Homo-oligomer: A and B are copies of this chain.
């Protein structure tokens, strides 16, 4: 998988404490956040991943050390006075739904990402799930990346639609889930939803469907990536960001152009990283991975889709 190509990859997102309850027990105050999941997943593909995020003065050095151990450039993680973003959620017994019990923005409430000169010149940019006006602010700071991808969520679709539409106009690849695609487009049918969303800006749309895989609507037609059937998924938190991290990480290091064939393969590497993520809590499912394990799981996807 690894090649001599090594494009720089910047993620602007959240770093958070998660408090997760569900059928596999209560896990208080574990490391989470879109930036954390994305960067860690991407770090298995390239050593030129940089994070822009904010943490509070309650954020332990060990988590920063972990990011650095993964070769991630954390010079863009600002340490502000106050508490780190906190999210508390409870999953249903079958993990099919979750309820937010508490959200405390803390220092994330004043997050105003400022990119350094080298960050402005990143080859690939991922805008994690943050307020669309912040995403647009980042778009205004960067040069002309090879690829700009973004995530969003229903909260912004409902509460900041105008800002979100501005962001989408500047994004090439949008990576969201099926519910978000339906709400953003106002259309239940995903083919029609994809048509409408692609008209908002992103030429490439990835619709994640959890254990039913992920769909790709783009210049190369339609592609349906399966999800690996897992016997005991434990925590879906961050799976979407790990998908995006594998997707973008693969594209950061692949030889040649980022054309349609590459994007299909990126969908599978995204699915691979998501499948590892849901097997454990926090980033534990990604820890201890190596190229061999990632390639072995990639082959499971080949076997799953082969006919």
Contacts and interface: CB of A to CB of B under 8 A. Distances in A.
Give the contact-size bracket for chain A: 35 or more
Contacts of A121: none
Contact of A189 (B212, B223, B231, B261): B231
Given A94-B188, A94-B189, A212-B212, A304 B233 contact: no
Contact of A192 (B96, B211, B231, B264): B231
A303 B191 contact: no
Interface in A251-307: 261, 264-265, 267-268, 303-307
A94 B189 CA distance: 7
A190 interface: yes
Interface in A175-226: 188-192, 194-195, 209, 211-213, 215, 217, 221-226
A229 interface: yes
A222 B194 CA distance: 29
A307 B264 contact: yes
A58 B175 CA distance: 54
A213 B214 CA distance: 11
A307 B268 contact: yes
B223 A191 contact: no
Specify how many copies of this chain sit in the oligomer: 2
Contacts of A226: 213, 224, 226
A144 to B, nearest CB: 28
B221 A303 contact: yes
Given A94-B188, A94-B189, A191-B229, A224 B213 contact: yes
Contacts of A195: 231
B307 A189 contact: no
A117 interface: no
Contacts of A215: 229
A224 B305 contact: yes
27 contacts: A93-B188, A94-B189, A95-B188, A189-B231, A189-B232, A189-B233, A190-B211, A191-B229, A191-B230, A191-B231, A192-B231, A192-B232, A194-B229, A195-B231, A209-B212, A212-B212, A213-B224, A217-B229, A221-B304, A223-B305, A223-B306, A223-B307, A224-B227, A224-B305, A226-B226, A265-B307, A268-B307
Interface of A: 93-96, 188-192, 194-195, 209, 211-213, 215, 217, 221-227, 229-233, 261, 264-265, 267-268, 303-307
Given A189-B231, A212-B212, A305-B305, 19 more contacts: A93-B188, A94-B188, A94-B189, A96-B188, A189-B233, A190-B211, A194-B229, A209-B212, A213-B213, A217-B229, A222-B229, A222-B303, A222-B304, A223-B304, A224-B304, A224-B305, A226-B226, A264-B307, A268-B307
The 8 closest A-B pairs by CB, nearest first: A224-B226, A94-B188, A212-B212, A264-B307, A191-B231, A191-B229, A224-B304, A305-B305
